[in-house]
Structure formats: C-alpha cells, structure tokens
Amino acid sequence: EVQLVETGGGLIQPGGSLRLSCTASGFTVSSNYMSWVRQAPGKGLEWVSAIYSSGSTYYAESVKGRFTISKDNSQNTLYLQMNSPRAEDTAVYYCAKYYYGSGNYYFDYWGQGTLVTVSS
C-alpha cells in the first residue's frame, strides 16, 4: 500500500529555516517524480516544487531561491528545505507522488499534509 507521511511542520520565524520530510512506503522515491504542493489557510492549491527521478528540480517563482527540494533514496524520503520564509509561506504542505499514464502526469497519491506557520 502506498503511503506518504509528512513531518517537520510547525511555527517558524520569518527569516529562519525549516526542513519538511515526506517518508514514502509502498514504492521507491528514487524511481518516481515527486512534488510539494501547499495550501494557505482558506485558499486554493499551489504547486511549490518537483524533483524528477533524474534529479532535475523545478520551483514555483514564489519560492525559487529560498526553498530546496531533495530526496534521500536510502531513506525513501523527500525533503523541502525552507529558508528565509515569509508570512505568505504559511500553509499546509502536502507531498504528492506523480503517476505517468496516457502520456500525461498527475498526482495519484498525496500525504496528509503538515502545517507550517511563519510568524514572529
């Protein structure tokens, strides 16, 4: 059974740093595309970042240069390093697994989310 479990959320001060983790089971992170998606309180979904099986990484403009996505294949875990966070980064952060089918990618599994609150 595929499972994604996010940890590491909490209260962080503006300008600080925080690392989110997403531990996967039932599949291997190394051979899949993975992503982080966030949702600010009462708002819609915002794609944040992706890492492909090749190691290529992609970021939304809103986090580029501040957040870093990475993975540890030995731990089967995805990470999101959040540096210099701002109040507008306050959100529930979900990790999601891509599925490739019919010539298209989509998110077939999601974690339960972890809340990050940026406040002094």
Partner 1 sequence: DIQMTQSPSSLSASVGDRVTITCRASQSISRYLNWYQQKPGKAPKLLIYTASGLQSGVPSRFSGSGSGTDFTLTISSLQPEDFATYYCQQTYSTIITFGQGTRLEIK
Give the residues lining the site for partner 1 (CB under 8 A).
Answer: 35, 37, 44-47, 50, 58, 60-61, 94, 101-108, 110-113
**Both tokens assigned to 62:** 């809103």
In the bound state with partner 1, the residue whose beta carbon lies nearer, of 55 and 74, is 55
Q: Give the span between the Cα atoms of 27 and 93, in whole angstroms.
A: 21
Return d(Cα 70, Cα 57) in angstroms, integer. 8
Decide whether 65 or 74 has the Cβ nearer to partner 1: 65
- Asked whether the beta carbons of 4 and 96 are under 8 A apart, the reply is yes
CB of 48 to partner 1, least distance (A): 9
Nearest distance from C-beta of residue 60 to partner 1, angstroms: 7
Minimum CB–partner distance for residue 16 and partner 1 (Å): 26
Q: Which is nearer to partner 1, 58 or 70 (CB)?
A: 58
d(CA 68, CA 70): 7
Joined tokens for residue 43: 């708002």
